[in-house]
A and B are shown apart, each in its own frame.
Chain A
């Protein structure tokens, strides 16, 4: 089967992040002061369980971040070509995860069914073979195979929740990736150069942080939406459209959240500048860039690491809230926020449909809890005050 890989913005950034994480790990192994805290994390049983759960989520997210299109084929399996003999691809973009869970993805029912149910959730008119019509709970096509039931159009809820993992992880990590270089650079520049540089940076972040975050995000997303509607031709298909919106959501979340870290780093740099080893290297005639690189950055890295891990769970939750409000990810995109948003109506009907909400809740809870537990262990390991030796 011939396929064409589709490179989405967020996919590429995710893999860039993965590469830099591997790079950091390789770098850490060489240095004892970076290696020993991780060893301490590895000795913490709870952290390792949380880490394992987190690892599973990440693997699912990564699988869901390799996208491709299959070549279009007719009913007989013959490859279809367009009038000039060019290649035609199917309009729907799939991911590796979709292939791995094909059975769940394609086992669709007609409408709602409760978790692990054998019959549909509402009564239907069924024509019996003898021509009689009865109104009853129809047998499902795939009895007892829907872990979290199915939604209104018969899609498996578990599948939708699995697809939500990627959205959550993208928001949680890319946002930090986007804001991190900016926060580190401005933070240490403000602390190191002081004077007017410090004044300028402080002015910018005080202004930014006094704009209500939701307002900033809503207006940015609305502007993007208008742009996408007027330039519809620039977006090949619906997936790319949704991805662009997700990417911009990350950017705007990053812009509104770098100020906190920047402020902490500025303070820390000011503190480090008074350290005698920084003064000693100034006395040795070491240049600014080298001092920043050798003395300042390695000594603020633990703060960066801690804040990245702590911010992650906050951002995953923020996505849910923003999507619920309607300024989050694209409504067509699978995300926990959208699932919760849809569940609003389902909870209002009688009998209520609760499994959409429950599935989103359980998966989100698992991710955030394991991220928090892991973050706690990482923070404790890197905190010099708690260091046993």
Chain B
């Protein structure tokens, strides 16, 4: 790889504004960075801080006339992209600079085969004949490791899984051998095992082709895995820039350190996560001084008056902060301190006990809609949760965790099995009894936007349960209870007459918490409650859930795919794969000595800061469809330790300790 002194891309004081009804929104407000050829720069930050707009500005894809670039210069290979004509810019787009997006589902045209879509780009920019382009397209698919590329090339996007689609997107992006690849949250919508595959692929291709990558992400752990340089963005600006090696040891902007501290992990189990109060300032009204000042725990007088400039504190490391000696992060160097488990697990009579739960969906075909098979979304699951315990249900998308959570609450029909709640068999009680019992078992959802009725005011939303369960006599009494609840979850009780759209994502999740708290439940199913939130907000919600658990002695079934959240909040963990639990045990047992090969792979695949020498296990392929699960052990086609017996019979349960068990033939 030849290196000259000029960086491949050099962004100087870029400014992008949007005209809105509230005034001029300065989405990107003076950011500068360089990307050397063949290296990866990660742009990190919470949502709404201008990461994606930066990427679109480099591509000159800002929607005019609502938005415009007021910026200074974007020098790419010696020419200023902002001064190029539109035609010249089109030649660069997709050819010299290409881009991949977050959502592989919508980035591909559903009515064109993937081959046509790759060839379209190749023919446009490289002027090859159709036959040559076809050959190249097959080769590209081969490069992104799609099996049987010659056959796959004539398939349509819906025939491919999410990970495959993202590979196709990468193939399209790389087909013209660009010098710069912009990846906007390329793995956010993918499962961890697939994310690991895609990140690995990007890294490999980078080494082979020497492509520079601008990676946009909110996930610091992903940054740790792939980036060479890191720029932290906040409110349209860069606030800290450093090389990877330095960043993860000596990052010292208060915002960056707080972000690190708010990441949940096993070491922080017995403490509150540190949070960042407030929210990112409105891009139409930036404060005069430092934009982070009002949320900063170290702010002093000068911060409110004077806007800090980027300054070097060491070679290759600059921050925008007035503090002379800002304390650096401690996370990366922290060795795992083993603390003893605080809580005794497995109480004698569990609060919730589920036996052999099965939820099947019939597949109907033909004129008479006869049942030809079943989707076994949940296929014979036993779990029990004691009072005040948290059981985490972990697994990749499509494994049946959400169905399971709703099934336990009987929100969906159950095929067979028994569910005992507080020693009451809720499978066989009448509708009105179940309705009364509902106050003891509640659910909280992932999507802070879809979980609140947009046409109801906050007090109506929170008091819905009060009314249906007959708590609180009249409206005034109920309103008082609602105000108390809002205070408990950290919302201003004065906002009782507001509509959901006036709240931020984190605040909406708090409303969701207040809604279930209103009926004083004993057991709550938390379905991916933090996955739509930024890390600092996630920390706030996790803290709140933990405090409530201690105060009210709540039990949680915590459904998530985020393993670091699990280690922070859960006591017990159950790993699900295609409708069955493959491993269960206490957090320590499962995370320190995972038994099942799937658990091992899952742990290895999830990106983690500060574990450099970790051996990576890369799983092949993706979760198969539950319509047609593989014979024998469902995991055998992807299992690195597969044995002939695995292909025939599903393994039984083998105990590794009193609380730790797994379903794998290895332990027979």
**Chain A interface residues toward B at CB < 8 A:** 31-33, 275-277, 279-287, 290, 294-295, 298-299, 388-389
Pair B468/A290 contact, Cβ less than 8 Å: yes
Q: List 5 A-B contacts (CB under 8 A).
A: A280-B445, A280-B512, A286-B465, A295-B453, A298-B456
One of B92-100, B238-246, B433-441, B605-613 at the interface:
B433-441
A295 to B461, CA, bound (A): 10
Contact of B464 among A31, A32, A284, A388 (CB under 8 A): A284
- Minimum CB–CB distance from B450 to chain A (whole Å) comes to 5
B469 touches A (CB below 8 Å): yes
Contact of A284 among B451, B453, B519 (CB under 8 A): B519
Closest to A384 in B: B454
Pair A284/B452 contact, Cβ less than 8 Å: no
Closest to A33 in B: B455
Complex interface bits, B273-317 against A, C-beta within 8 A gives 1, otherwise 0: 000000000000000000000000000000000000000000000
Contacts of B438 in A (CB 8 A): 283-285
Pair A285/B442 contact, Cβ less than 8 Å: no
Contact of B450 among A277, A295, A388 (CB under 8 A): A277
B21 touches A (CB below 8 Å): yes
A352 to B120, CA, bound (A): 62
Contacts of B406 in A (CB 8 A): 279
Pair B453/A294 contact, Cβ less than 8 Å: yes
Pair B21/A276 contact, Cβ less than 8 Å: no
Pair B454/A33 contact, Cβ less than 8 Å: yes
Pair A276/B447 contact, Cβ less than 8 Å: yes
From known contacts A277-B452, A279-B411, infer whether A284 and B442 are also in contact, taking CB-CB under 8 Å. Answer: yes
- Minimum CB–CB distance from B7 to chain A (whole Å) comes to 40
B515 touches A (CB below 8 Å): yes
Closest to A296 in B: B453
Pair B450/A282 contact, Cβ less than 8 Å: no
Interface of B is mostly: mixed
Contact of B453 among A31, A277, A285, A388 (CB under 8 A): A277
B residues 399-415 in Cβ contact with A at 8 Å = 406, 409, 411
A334 to B423, CA, bound (A): 74
**Chain B interface residues toward A at CB < 8 A:** 21, 406, 409, 411, 434-439, 441-443, 445-447, 450-456, 460-461, 464-465, 467-469, 499, 512, 515-516, 519
Contact of A285 among B435, B454, B461 (CB under 8 A): B435
Pair A281/B464 contact, Cβ less than 8 Å: yes
Pair A32/B439 contact, Cβ less than 8 Å: no
Closest to A282 in B: B411
Pair A280/B451 contact, Cβ less than 8 Å: yes
- Minimum CB–CB distance from A362 to chain B (whole Å) comes to 39
- Minimum CB–CB distance from A88 to chain B (whole Å) comes to 57
- Minimum CB–CB distance from A294 to chain B (whole Å) comes to 7
Contact of B455 among A283, A285, A298 (CB under 8 A): A298
- Minimum CB–CB distance from B225 to chain A (whole Å) comes to 32
Pair A299/B468 contact, Cβ less than 8 Å: no
Contacts of A299 in B (CB 8 A): 453-455
Closest to B406 in A: A279
Pair B452/A283 contact, Cβ less than 8 Å: no
Pair B499/A283 contact, Cβ less than 8 Å: no
- Minimum CB–CB distance from B147 to chain A (whole Å) comes to 34
Contacts of A281 in B (CB 8 A): 464-465, 468
Closest to A286 in B: B468
Contacts of A389 in B (CB 8 A): 21
Contacts of B21 in A (CB 8 A): 388-389
Contacts of A33 in B (CB 8 A): 454-455, 499
Pair B515/A280 contact, Cβ less than 8 Å: yes
Contacts of A283 in B (CB 8 A): 409, 411, 438, 441-443, 516
New contact pairs (20) apart from A280-B515, A286-B465, A299-B454, CB-CB < 8 Å:
A33-B499, A275-B451, A276-B445, A276-B450, A276-B451, A277-B450, A281-B465, A281-B468, A282-B411, A283-B411, A283-B516, A284-B469, A284-B516, A285-B436, A285-B438, A285-B469, A287-B435, A290-B468, A298-B456, A299-B453
- Minimum CB–CB distance from B449 to chain A (whole Å) comes to 9
- Minimum CB–CB distance from A305 to chain B (whole Å) comes to 13
- Minimum CB–CB distance from B24 to chain A (whole Å) comes to 15
- Minimum CB–CB distance from B170 to chain A (whole Å) comes to 31
A280 to B441, CA, bound (A): 11
Contacts of B439 in A (CB 8 A): 284-285
Contacts of A279 in B (CB 8 A): 406, 411, 443, 445
A129 to B362, CA, bound (A): 97
- Minimum CB–CB distance from B439 to chain A (whole Å) comes to 7
- Minimum CB–CB distance from B353 to chain A (whole Å) comes to 19
Closest to B515 in A: A280
- Minimum CB–CB distance from B414 to chain A (whole Å) comes to 15
A299 to B455, CA, bound (A): 7
A294 to B516, CA, bound (A): 18
Pair B443/A280 contact, Cβ less than 8 Å: yes
Closest to A387 in B: B501
A368 to B664, CA, bound (A): 71
Contacts of B445 in A (CB 8 A): 276, 279-280
- Minimum CB–CB distance from B515 to chain A (whole Å) comes to 7
Contacts of A298 in B (CB 8 A): 453, 455-456
Pair A284/B456 contact, Cβ less than 8 Å: no
- Minimum CB–CB distance from A146 to chain B (whole Å) comes to 51
Contacts of A282 in B (CB 8 A): 411
- Minimum CB–CB distance from B89 to chain A (whole Å) comes to 29
Contacts of A388 in B (CB 8 A): 21
Contact of B456 among A285, A287, A290, A294 (CB under 8 A): A294
A276 to B454, CA, bound (A): 12
Contacts of A284 in B (CB 8 A): 438-439, 442, 464-465, 468-469, 515-516, 519
A278 to B205, CA, bound (A): 46
A370 to B436, CA, bound (A): 53
A284 to B519, CA, bound (A): 8
A285 to B437, CA, bound (A): 8
A284 to B515, CA, bound (A): 9
Closest to A290 in B: B468
Contacts of B467 in A (CB 8 A): 286
Closest to B466 in A: A284
Closest to B452 in A: A277
Pair A277/B451 contact, Cβ less than 8 Å: yes
